[in-house]
Structure formats: C-alpha cells, structure tokens
A and B are shown apart, each in its own frame.
Chain A
Amino acid sequence: DADVTQTPRNRITKTGKRIMLECSQTKGHDRMYWYRQDPGLGLRLIYYSFDVKDINKGEISDGYSVSRQAQAKFSLSLESAIPNQTALYFCATGSGTQPQHFGDGTRLSIL
C-alpha cells in the first residue's frame, strides 16, 4: 500500500463547483503539505500543517482552504473552482529534516 494516498486520481468538474481533494498517510509524519504543479513552473506550496491544530498558508493559498482532520489526513478544498485552478495537485508528508514523500498526485481539470 502507498505511504501517501491521494484521492481522486483525476477529476473533471465545472466552474463554480466545490471540490475536495483528500490525502492520507501511513508514515506517521507530523508535517503535511499541499502543492500545485503547473507546466514550466515547478511546484508551488498552497498550505502546510505541522499538526492538527497548526495550519499555515503557503505561496499561493488564495482560493483554497484546508483541513487537518487527524494526524494522518489533510484535505484541500476549492470553494468555488475556476479554470485557472486546473493543475496537478500533490500532497506530501515530512518529518524533521527528512525528505518529503509525495502522493501520486490529483489531476484536476476545471471547465
């Protein structure tokens, strides 16, 4: 089983819809991250969390919200999706100075 699981793997939706992307981990890491990947731009940080009570904005948090339901679960929501939020979204986990581990990504298309 994957250490970091993202659902769904792919999603197509319409402008204005509310979308939730989910992430769960079995690595026991305290830190969890949501990134967005656009062609030619690498990855950009949306939100990150160090524990259930700690949520922090990243570089591009506008239009997104998150919830850390448990140490192992971190979800990303788009309250009212717009086409320029079409991207590949990654969840990652980390602990201390160790490298982050990534899920397989969710490809989101907003029409």
Chain B
Amino acid sequence: AQTVTQSQPEMSVQEAETVTLSCTYDTSESDYYLFWYKQPPSRQMILVIRQEAYKQQNATENRFSVNFQKAAKSFSLKISDSQLGDAAMYFCAYSMLDSNYQLIWGAGTKLIIKP
C-alpha cells in the first residue's frame, strides 16, 4: 500500500530558530513528486515546496528547504528563521503518474512557534 508517515504529530520551535519536520513514504515507483503543504488556522491548503523524485538537488523556497533522501524514502522539511506566521499544520504528500497524480497524504504535523 502507498503510505506517507509523519511521525511528529506536533512540533514547537522558538521564533527565529530552525525546525525540521519529518516525512517518510512508501512507493515502489521511481518517478513521483513530493510536496509539502501548509494549512494555517484559516484552513487554506497552501503549497510550500515541491520536489521531483528524478532530481537529486534538494528544492528550496526562501526559508523553506527539503532534505530528499530517495533511497531512504525520506522527505523532510526544514524551516529556517521561523516566524509566527509559520504556525500551521504541515502535510507531506506525493503523487505518481501511475495513480493519475492522485495525492497521497500524511496525517500532518502541527507546528507551534513560540514568541
């Protein structure tokens, strides 16, 4: 079965510090796409970052970066210089051509930012 595991139900970090959210996934495919989405209290689902599995270089978007370890099927999200506005649920997900690009989701990690 295709699964995504986020082992940290909740994480907290001091404002301006760095935090890493973990994600592992299980697929036998070699071509897929990985995503991190953010869901603030407003409940919108906002794309944070995207990684193509065929690319070895880790994706970055400003303060957000990933550590993609394909062999280990690991896709962690690092948030640098954490800001109060980063407080949200963070979801890891992936999609594959063979499943018509359906998104398979983890259960989420709640990130708390301490001022």
Give chain A's interface residues, CB within 8 Å of chain B: 31, 33, 35, 40-45, 48, 50, 56, 58, 88, 90, 92, 94, 96-97, 99-102, 104-105, 107
Contacts and interface: CB of A to CB of B under 8 A. Distances in A.
Interface of B: 4, 9, 33, 35, 42-47, 50, 52, 91, 93, 97, 100-103, 105-108
B101 A88 contact: no
Interface residues of chain A: helix, strand, loop or mixed (majority): strand
A44 B43 contact: no
Contacts of A41: 107
Contact of B103 (A45, A96, A107): A45
Contact of B47 (A88, A90, A97, A99): A99
A96 B33 CA distance: 12
Contact of A45 (B42, B91, B102, B107): B102
Contact of B107 (A40, A92, A101, A107): A40
B38 to A, nearest CB: 11
A104 B43 contact: yes
Given A44-B105, A99-B33, A100-B103, 5 more contacts: A42-B93, A90-B45, A99-B50, A105-B45, A107-B43
